[in-house]
Amino acid sequence: MKSKILNILALGGFFGPVLFTVVTIVCATFRPEYRHLDQFISELGATGTVNAQLMNYAGFVPSGILIFSFALAMIRNERKPMVWRIGFGFLSLFGFGIFLAGLFSCDQGCPDVGSKESNIHQMIAPITFVSAILGVLLSGISFRKIPYLRSLWKYSIVSGILASLFLLALVNSLETRIFTGLWQRLLLSVLFLWTALIGIRSFRKYDSNLT
């Protein structure tokens, strides 16, 4: 029973990103002035903006829970090397950070300094992204010793490096806010694609063992 539950939870790595992406697109559709290339996704959930509650409580919060569940399932499914557990521990922080970002929304425009709630949001964001990158890199290293994931260890390292580069580009764009949204979306795309792929691969592996 425990294995079946963990097996299902592993799919949170797929469904979390899908849900987040769909809700982001829907919320942006109702904001004609919103610019995907230059604005943070968090601005769709900024305090006082149109459909902020939808973005936060249908996007950030449940997506964060799903990704956190994926990471937890990966940690507990089998006995794995310590680097595996540390890696997915960081990925659990990634999911938890997305969850918290929905509870503590930024002010309109997501300024560097604002209300207490907005400041908390701004503090959560870098920790969330760095945790995700470390999680992908460390987990990828451990994949070399995991038969059903061995073929993905190089992909994981490349994903971690790409995500790091997109994060650096995002940080460098903060002053001008030019292409900030683009760099954030590329960063999340790399991370979300990775969690989706690992979640599906793990589900198939454990599902075949259970049947």
Rounded CA separation 132/49 (Å): 28
Asked if 28 and 45 touch (Cβ cutoff 8 Å), the reply is no
pLDDT tens, position by position, 100-144: 999 999 999 999 999 999 999 999 999 999 999 999 999 999 999
pLDDT of residue 210: 43
DSSP state of 44: G
Confidence of residue 211 (pLDDT cuts 50, 70, 90): very low
Per-residue pLDDT of 148-200, as tens digits, reads 899 999 999 999 999 999 999 999 999 999 999 999 999 999 999 999 999 99
Q: Model-level pTM?
A: 0.94
Question: Are 205 and 11 in contact, with CB atoms under 8 Å apart?
Answer: no
> For residue 38, what is the enclosing H or E element?
none
Q: Are 75 and 89 in contact (CB under 8 A)?
A: yes
Q: Which two tokens stand for residue 174?
A: 């903060």
In 3-state terms, what secondary structure has residue 108? coil
Distance CA 28, CA 160 (A): 28
Q: Which helix (H) or strand (E) element contains residue 35?
A: none
